[in-house]
């Protein structure tokens, strides 16, 4: 049986490389399979999406007109002892801080999930694999989208041309980081992580909120982005994570869509069970 819960009798006596490949192939097949339920999530109705899009654009426009330039000028006057810690903290907004360990977790799962393991162990490993896959998708997909779209929009970063001009754009003209301000990639990463981690482990929401807000603020303090860039990135990251959750829920992978349209997280193994499985796998 593969880590994803599907039978794979052809690889039961296979060598280690073959069962690893079988695990990876089966997992990919599950992620792209047709939805297993006709129910639809309640929140992404056309009316709600349209209203949220209009509200977001109004807020972004308002920030550009009334807040962006003022915020950058204020950040310039901050004392060094305030700015230096934010310069250190802002680095933790890069997606690699989450995607690398999660990706390594997926590799470890594929490598350890031998067909010879007991069914209980495979079920625990499979549940962890689904959660790792969701976290990776929910953070990487919005980040990839922003990486492309921000360079097509071509908004100037603060002082990219030597001055603060929140309305300086060179769309479709340059492909440079100093004209890739909108949306903020760091804000996209941390707010996608906030939603993704929060729907799996609700008790961590407070910590994730603090993390996301600190990184978002740091992007303005270090003069890397305008507030409107950060707000736009937060919206893209959050919506991207919710859409990833809905994709998994439609396939009953870690989540389920109820008849009322609510998306619920399926229960996962307790920490005690994970430790028990880890000891079994790592025991000499």
Helix (H, G, I), strand (E, B) or coil at 264: strand
Residue 95 has pLDDT above 60, yes or no: yes
CB 183 within 8 A of CB 233: yes
Residue 244 has pLDDT above 90, yes or no: yes
Which segment of 46-55, 99-108, 196-205, 248-257 scores lowest on mean pLDDT? 46-55
Helix (H, G, I), strand (E, B) or coil at 268: coil
At the second CATH level, the architecture of 42-282 is Up-down Bundle (1.20)
CB 99 within 8 A of CB 140: yes
Cα–Cα distance, 227 to 63 (Å, whole number): 7
Residue 155 sits at φ, ψ, to 5 deg, of -80, 140
Residue 2 has pLDDT above 70, yes or no: no
Residue 174 sits at φ, ψ, to 5 deg, of -120, 160
What percent of the chain shows pLDDT beyond 90? Answer: 63
Tokens 């109004």 sit on residue: 58
Tokens 């919206």 sit on residue: 235
- Is the CA virtual torsion 37, 42, 44, 45 positive or negative? positive
Summarised one tens digit per residue, pLDDT across range 191-221 is: 999 999 999 999 999 999 999 999 999 999 9
Summarised one tens digit per residue, pLDDT across range 117-143 is: 788 888 888 899 999 999 999 999 999
pTM of the model: 0.91
- Mean pLDDT estimate for the chain: 89
């Amino acid at each position: 049986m593969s880590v994803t819960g599907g039978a794979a009798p052809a690889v039961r006596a296979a060598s280690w490389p073959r069962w690893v490949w079988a695990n990876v192939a089966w997992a990919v097949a599950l992620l792209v399979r047709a939805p297993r339920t006709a129910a639809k999530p309640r929140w992404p109705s056309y009316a709600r999406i349209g209203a949220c899009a209009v509200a977001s654009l109004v807020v972004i426009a308002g920030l550009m007109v009334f807040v962006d330039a003022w915020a950058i000028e204020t950040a310039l006057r901050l004392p060094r002892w305030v700015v230096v810690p934010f310069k250190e903290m802002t680095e933790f907004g890069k997606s690699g801080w989450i995607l690398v360990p999660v990706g390594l977790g997926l590799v470890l799962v594929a490598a350890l999930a031998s067909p010879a393991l007991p069914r209980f162990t495979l079920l625990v490993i499979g549940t962890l694999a689904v959660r790792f896959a969701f976290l990776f998708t929910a953070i990487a997909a919005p980040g990839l989208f922003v990486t492309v779209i921000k360079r097509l929009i071509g908004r100037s970063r603060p002082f990219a041309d030597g001055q603060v001009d929140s309305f300086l754009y060179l769309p479709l003209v340059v492909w440079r980081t100093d004209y890739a301000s909108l949306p903020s990639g760091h804000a996209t990463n941390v707010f996608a992580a906030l939603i993704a981690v929060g729907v799996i482990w609700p008790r961590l929401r407070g910590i994730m909120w603090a993390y996301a807000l600190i990184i978002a603020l740091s992007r303005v303090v270090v003069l890397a982005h305008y507030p409107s860039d950060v707000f736009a990135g937060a919206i893209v990251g959050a919506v991207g994570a919710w859409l990833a959750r809905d994709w998994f829920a439609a396939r009953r992978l870690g989540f389920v869509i109820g008849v009322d349209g609510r998306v619920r997280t399926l229960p996962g193994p307790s920490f005690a069970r994970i430790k028990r499985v880890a000891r079994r796998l790592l025991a000499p």
